[in-house]
Structure 1
Amino acid sequence: MESMKYIYGPVPSRRLGISLGVSPIPKKTCNYSCVYCQLGKTDHFMNTREMFFPVAEILMEFDAFLKSAVPFDVVTIVGEGEPTLYLGLGELILGIKERTGKPVAVITNGALLYDAALRAELGLADIVLPTLDAYDTVSFRKINRPHRSIDFEKVNEGLITFSKEYAGSLWIEIMLIDGINDDDVSLRKYAEALKKIKCDRVYINTPVRPPAETYAKEISPERMNRAVEILGGIPINFLDTEGFHSEIPDDYEAIMSIIKRHPMNQFEVESFLASRGCDKQAVEGICSRMRADDKVTAIDYKGIVTYRLR
């Protein structure tokens, strides 16, 4: 199978199992520029929904993937930025659901949930995973660094409204950053915010992959335990090393297709290549090639090398 433009993986997801990714937006296109983003800084900063690619083109690729019969647990619309900026989202969700009985999930920053039309489109998904990183305007600007047209109160009200309208599974994720929003005062403010939101799960995360800003650091195990105690959420701050898949025959191109949307650390690369029958020498050769590739950034983060596309 040739390299695909919109479909990638499956990749392991700490919340969803083996996830088949769908990316309906151009690279690093978002209405936030979060300090912790694993894709690096936002390249295309915008807050207008657009039909970036034809829905039919994405679904054609999805059909081609389904013929491979590779197993997956869920189809996740996320990609390389904020998927709700894609104007064809509702049509895309319906098209995927016509083709598979697997659940469809959308991972979103939730910024556009004030838009009633978007809420209706997201309502078609089985699982929606919005982030709740901020509890007021100051924390919003410090952590999410939103597009200038986005107002915190509007975003917050949109999430509350959606949570009451939505019939599917709503899983909230809070990203905690050392010294920024992991203190008890912040945690209690999150707890107050959560009281207004009708959700099925709360996931507590912290940066485990290289973030956009070096100061966005992982919180301590003690603070994570405290967050779980105050928020009653599920901690997901651990790494996956198995479950990556690509139908692309060439090992190097297969890795490139994954790290375009999902950075991989050295252990994940080794595990993935081993599952494809590569010996140690071949793995070392591919890692050396990535380190020399101008399109790839190799970041030493806490003693672990992580590869992502520039």
Structure 2
Amino acid sequence: METLKFVYGPIPSRRLGKSLGVSPIPQKTCNYSCIYCQLGRTNKMTNERQEFFKLEDIINEFKNYLKNSDIFDVVTVVGEGEPTLYSKLGELVRELKKLTDKPVAVITNGALLNDKKVQEDLMEADIVLPSINGYNEEISKKIDRPYGKIKFDETLKGIIEFSHLYKGELWLEIMLLDGINDSKESIKEYKKLLEKIKYTRLYLNTCVRPPAEPDVNMITKEKMKYAVNELGGISIDMLSSGFFFSEILDDYESVLSLCKRHPMNQFELKSFLESRKVNKIDEMIERIEKDPKFNVINYRGIKTYRVK
């Protein structure tokens, strides 16, 4: 299986195990441009739902993938942008569920959860994982940098409303960033806000991968521990990571495909190439580092490989 446009992985997800990704959105197309985004800055800002790619094409690729492998724990609709911008999301999830008995999850920034059609589409999923990084307009604007018309109060109202209607598993995530939303006062605000949302799990994250903006930093272990204790959440950086996998036969193309959706650090890249029994790993890494398609970011002393 040489060319995969929509399906990728499985990749190790600290929450979902071996996650087979399905991306219905073009690269960096989003209604947020989060300062911590591991894909870099959003360069196609939009809040308009569209059928970016034909539903039939995505489903056909998924069917072809299943002919070769079913070694994954969950199908995750996510990819390179905000998946709720895909106008046929509900149909996509329904069709995926017809083809596999594995759970289908959707990872979303939650910005469109006040849209009744989006709520309806997400009802089809087994797990919905919305982010809620701000606790007011000011913090949301600072972290999420939303598309002009998006208002925090409306987004929050949508998340609360959806959480009480949804019958599946709702796994919330809060991204905590140094000096922005990690103070005791901030944690107190999140606590108040969480009381209004009906969720199954709460994950607390910090930017362990290179963020979109260079001055964004992860929070201290002490502050994470405090947040975990106060909010009753699970710290994502304490969950163990698994292994990357790709059905693409060409080693170089498989790295390119994975790093486009999920940047890999130097250890993950080496481990991935070893798992594929690549003979000259150092030469392959050198080729990647010289390739203008890749950004090689040195973050906290560790190299991360991201597709531009």
Please indicate the TM-score interval, normalised by the length of the shorter structure.
over 0.9
Q: Partner of 1:112 in structure 2?
A: 112
Determine if the alignment matches structure 1 residue 210 to structure 2 residue 210: yes
What is the deviation of 1:295? 0.7
Q: Partner of 2:289 in structure 1?
A: 291
How does 1:155-166 map onto structure 2 within 5 Å? Answer: 155-166=155-166
What is the deviation of 1:238? 4.8
Q: Partner of 1:301 in structure 2?
A: 299
What is the deviation of 1:215? 1.4
* Residues 66-96 of structure 1: CA deviation (Å, up to 9, x unaligned): 0112400000000101000000100100000
What is the deviation of 1:216? 1.3
* Residues 82-129 of structure 1: CA deviation (Å, up to 9, x unaligned): 000000100100000000000000000000001011101100000000
What is the deviation of 1:240? 5.8
Q: Partner of 1:243 in structure 2?
A: 243
Corresponding letter in the other structure for 1:189? E
Contact 1:33 1:41 in 2 (8 A): yes
Quote the Cα distance in structure 2 between the aligned partners of 1:136 and 1:69: 44
Q: Partner of 1:28 in structure 2?
A: 28
What is the deviation of 1:286? 1.2
Change (3 A) 1:11 1:205: same
SS of 2:237 mapped into structure 1: coil
Normalising by structure 1, we get a TM-score of 0.98
Corresponding letter in the other structure for 2:116? A
Corresponding letter in the other structure for 1:60? N
Quote the Cα distance in structure 2 between the aligned partners of 1:40 and 1:69: 31
Quote the Cα distance in structure 2 between the aligned partners of 1:156 and 1:111: 8
Quote the Cα distance in structure 2 between the aligned partners of 1:69 and 1:257: 17
Equivalent pairs, count: 308
SS of 1:11 mapped into structure 2: strand
SS of 1:185 mapped into structure 2: helix
Q: Partner of 2:275 in structure 1?
A: 275
Quote the Cα distance in structure 1 between the aligned partners of 2:235 and 2:45: 30
How does 1:1-310 map onto structure 2 within 5 Å? Answer: 1-238=1-238, 242-279=242-279, 282-310=280-308
Contact 1:77 1:104 in 2 (8 A): yes
* Residues 244-296 of structure 1: CA deviation (Å, up to 9, x unaligned): 111111111111010010000000011111111124xx111111111111110
Quote the Cα distance in structure 1 between the aligned partners of 2:182 and 2:284: 38
* Residues 115-164 of structure 1: CA deviation (Å, up to 9, x unaligned): 01110110000000000100001001100000001011100000000000
Quote the Cα distance in structure 1 between the aligned partners of 2:262 and 2:297: 14
Quote the Cα distance in structure 2 between the aligned partners of 1:239 and 1:305: 21
Quote the Cα distance in structure 2 between the aligned partners of 1:27 and 1:238: 29
Amino-acid identity (%):
54
Contact 1:174 1:205 in 2 (8 A): yes
SS of 1:257 mapped into structure 2: helix
Quote the Cα distance in structure 2 between the aligned partners of 1:150 and 1:242: 36
5+ residue gaps, structure 1: none
Quote the Cα distance in structure 1 between the aligned partners of 2:122 and 2:70: 26
What is the deviation of 1:242? 3.5
Contact 2:2 2:250 in 1 (8 A): no
SS of 2:304 mapped into structure 1: strand
SS of 1:237 mapped into structure 2: helix
Contact 1:83 1:108 in 2 (8 A): yes
Quote the Cα distance in structure 2 between the aligned partners of 1:90 and 1:166: 14
Corresponding letter in the other structure for 1:292? K
Quote the Cα distance in structure 1 between the aligned partners of 2:240 and 2:296: 18
Quote the Cα distance in structure 2 between the aligned partners of 1:19 and 1:178: 29
Corresponding letter in the other structure for 2:185? V
Contact 2:175 2:207 in 1 (8 A): yes
What is the CA RMSD across the aligned residues, in angstroms? 1.0
Corresponding letter in the other structure for 1:285? E
Quote the Cα distance in structure 1 between the aligned partners of 2:239 and 2:16: 14
SS of 1:121 mapped into structure 2: helix
Normalising by structure 2, we get a TM-score of 0.98
